[in-house]
A and B are shown apart, each in its own frame.
Chain A
């Protein structure tokens, strides 16, 4: 290094420049990039499937995106998070006191095909929730005002007013957080040691009705590492909650309802629910509508969770949705139908088996659940008739 270089290097060392990267910008740009990336991939896919694509106009996809956003809203409202010795008691205490919580939820669809959906959650008191997927689907809900925004990457966003839900104190993610905070102080049994993601953990098991919760705690630090939920009556309907952190600093911008720059607004939707519409009949009507609105005449792949938004968008892109039907889609019907399943009590042991089943397929149960206070199950068949069966008569 010569004299000039040394001299300038010394000077540069003495420069006071605010050059530290701001994670908020990095995060915001990450969202934009993922949206752009998804759009680019979509274009590539579209070019390779041009034959199929000709049947679907761009404007229709936009409509699907709007519908998907509504479904995502229903999905976020339907999020179920119920988790549930000394280390265990301390973790429970930490959950109860937490002002913020972040975690990743890996959901296995209750259709037995082993597929999983990974969603990141961030919750901040008194009522802010954000969910996001790695490919850019984002929902932000402010339950203090009942406002919500749902963002479908590349395609746009939808704003929703959830005030009517808020007023009547419906169940949803906030109740789920509360349920997490209401974990029993003592576990039912110890599960022994297990290594999770390179961490030696001690396990504890809690059984609450149909639901069995395994809680895994770092043996050295006492930190909560993983929560697993399994439903006895629905073997495929498992959830793994990991990367859990309490009281991390969450910037307010993460819960901003301001739409990202450059994205188009879909129709603003005012989703309302006074409880009367979330019925089995509404659910059946929605199943009928869905089967009539896709080219295969099959029932929806899933009936709960944010993943339905993503699936719907993909189906639209693949030309599997009938454009005319979707242009006239009733967001309120979808919303209430999904609320019906999401608000079923946990001991209802509900199960969905309609993925890929064509409407009117004979003798094929697609959904069953046990209404509150009932000894029998209500079973919906592919011809959309309903029968009452005892537990031992249910499909295996």
Chain B
């Protein structure tokens, strides 16, 4: 397949095969520090993962794009001093992204706004059916229950279930042991189970 020539400034579409079965490139990091072309390649290899993580934390693609931009611009600032391979680079990006998402939620009070909105949903919908589209309905539930978790728990659950990272990988990102990661995940899931049940009961009540 011919490469898209528009590597700079144009709509270069990432080859999906480049990401599926992701393999870390051992030579990429050194070259990327001095070669803009390699740097671009590194960016393109990780853009989707960072954006995915942000959008799954924020449930808002526009906010996710803003935060993704912050993440990569922050990365450039510290890139020269960064030491490690591409795997460590990905972990580093996740840490930056986690901080940026948390900061975004805190600063913009978006979380509170969303929670307030979600809290209003049952009363607003009183007498109506819940969303006819089951997918949309599940979206609302997941968003609702996720935002009840602490930021760190949100991050762990998002990485595990949306980004499909193993608990060992999550542990690497946050510099904790795998056992701690598993323990925190279990606690978060227990909370989620409780909140999901509650949300569904409310949903059923609304149906009735």
A interface residues (Cβ-Cβ under 8 A, vs B): 2, 4-5, 7-9, 11-12, 14-19, 21-27, 29-34, 36-38, 40-41, 44, 102-104, 120-122, 130, 132-136, 138, 197, 199, 223, 225, 242-245, 249-251, 254
Contact = CB atoms under 8 A, between A and B. Distances in A.
B103 interface: no
A200 B204 CA distance: 64
Nearest first, the 3 A-B pairs at minimum CB distance are: A243-B5, A16-B135, A132-B9
15 contacts: A2-B186, A4-B189, A5-B189, A7-B196, A26-B44, A30-B12, A32-B73, A36-B73, A37-B36, A37-B39, A122-B10, A132-B8, A134-B36, A134-B40, A243-B5
B5 A120 contact: yes
Given A26-B14, A34-B40, 17 more contacts: A4-B192, A8-B193, A8-B196, A16-B135, A19-B61, A19-B64, A23-B12, A23-B14, A27-B12, A29-B69, A29-B72, A33-B43, A130-B9, A135-B36, A250-B10, A250-B11, A254-B11
Contact of B76 (A33, A44, A223): A33
B44 A21 contact: no
Contacts of B52: 19, 21
B161 A225 contact: no
Interface of B, secondary structure class, is helix
B196 A17 contact: no
Interface in B138-189: 138-139, 141-142, 157, 161-162, 186, 189
B193 A7 contact: yes
Contacts of A251: 11
Contacts of B139: 15-17
Contacts of B186: 2, 4
B56 A17 contact: yes
Nearest to A40: B76
Contacts of A138: 8-9
Given A30-B40, A34-B36, A135-B36, A120 B76 contact: no
Interface string B42-60: 0110011001100110010
Contacts of A33: 39-40, 43, 72-73, 76
B134 interface: yes
B126 interface: no
Nearest to B61: A18
B76 A36 contact: yes
Given A26-B44, A32-B73, A40-B76, A245 B11 contact: no
Contacts of A133: 8
